[in-house]
Amino acid sequence: MTLSTFFPLLLSHVMGDAVFTSYRLAVRKRSRALADQLLAISYHSLIHAVFAGLFLLLLGKLWLKGALLVLALHFSIDFLRCRVEVKLYGPGRIHVKRSELIDWISGKNREEEKMQMSKVWPWFFIHLLDQGAHLGSLYGIAMVV
């Protein structure tokens, strides 16, 4: 039963992170100004909460509880990640964009210095921890609702 709730939550997460986000929003989440950063992360987390709530509603689950948990946990995880990235890479920028990662994987790398393994590993580790925290929180939410 938990997996039948987890997978729609995972789909809502993919939609929020890949389909209904933008480069501009991702940069604003890493803003130097804390107020701008909080607003951008709140907006991004709200997108996730809306999709999670809709999917939970369709499943007949506790949609409001689930949506509020997604909102709170997604905000917390993204805030921590963005603060770490601002400290490591500077404000108002993304260290590795999706297009750069795809180019690097496919061998069409145009920014050789930026994509050196010594510089990519910290970013990759942060990304892995971030996505792992999101997946874990979604599974926990699926167990609760």
46-91 pLDDT, tens digit each: 999 999 999 999 999 999 999 999 999 999 999 999 999 999 989 9
Q: How confident is the model at residue 95 (pLDDT cuts 50, 70, 90)?
A: confident
Using an 8 Å Cβ cutoff, are 71 and 37 in contact? Answer: no
Is 70 exceeded by the pLDDT of residue 39? yes
Strands (E), the chain: none
pLDDT at 140: 97
What is the arithmetic mean of pLDDT over 10-36?
93
pLDDT for 1 beyond 70: no
Residue 106 has pLDDT above 90, yes or no: no
Q: In sequence order, what DSSP letters do the residues of 117-141 get, joined into one string?
A: HHHHHHHHHHHHHHHHHHHHHHHHH
Q: What is the pLDDT of residue 107?
A: 76
CA atoms within 13 A on the CB side of 63: 13
The distance between the two most distant Cα atoms of the chain, rounded to a whole number of Å, is: 50
What per-residue confidence (pLDDT) applies to 131? 95
Residue 89 token pair: 């890479």
Find how far residue 92's CA is from the centre of its chain: 16
Distance CA 131, CA 52 (A): 16
